[in-house]
A and B are shown apart, each in its own frame.
Chain A
Amino acid sequence: AQSVSQHNHHVILSEAASLELGCNYSYGGTVNLFWYVQYPGQHLQLLLKYFSGDPLVKGIKGFEAEFIKSKFSFNLRKPSVQWSDTAEYFCAVTPGFQKLVFGTGTRLLVSP
């Protein structure tokens, strides 16, 4: 079945460690790709998005993601995490212009 997969369900890091969260999707054709973040008690917020052009996308708060079409991947990275990055991170794909499909999410805990 067509889907979005996030392989890491829980990640625990110390401050200043580097982060990479995996995301793979199984839709063919043109897709738009997103990473959303949900801080404790808050709504889902857009972290970054890819529509076209440079496959390395810069987002807010020092996050970036790389679209690798051949691998159907859109991994999220941050060189040095902070305690305030503790949140749940969701990868999402729009295989069509209306439908936003999410992965299961990754809970990140950053210890001070």
Chain B
Amino acid sequence: ETGVTQTPRHLVMGMTNKKSLKCEQHLGHNAMYWYKQSAKKPLELMFVYNFKEQTENNSVPSRFSPECPNSSHLFLHLHTLQPEDSALYLCASSIGQEGMNTEAFFGQGTRLTVV
């Protein structure tokens, strides 16, 4: 248990569906992240939120839409995905303040399959 919880753990969706991934952290952190983990590729940073403000969008297609209503919750809204978007989506959090511990804590991920 890392203090970062992701739901659902597994998701199968069609290319025309709309779904959302949820992440919640109970660590009092200010920064939250979405990463994509695909086979044979580095973990790809998708989005960064710090104090609820998006501070990084790593050239992610618009079919992925993040939302951060507060520092404890992070969503990833999905629509009209492609089969190549199938991957493990990881949420992480960290303190998010310069000069502080930058260690990130990860959730267990959502295994997404697009059919």
Q: Residues on B close to A: CB < 8 A? A: 2, 31, 33, 35, 40-43, 45, 48, 50, 55-56, 90, 92, 94, 96-109
Contact = CB atoms under 8 A, between A and B. Distances in A.
Interface residues of A, number: 23
A97 B100 contact: yes
A26 interface: no
Interface in A1-59: 4, 32, 34, 36, 42-46, 49, 51
Contacts of B105: 46
Nearest to A34: B103
Contacts of B50: 98
Contact of B99 (A49, A97, A104): A97
Contact of A42 (B40, B97, B108): B108
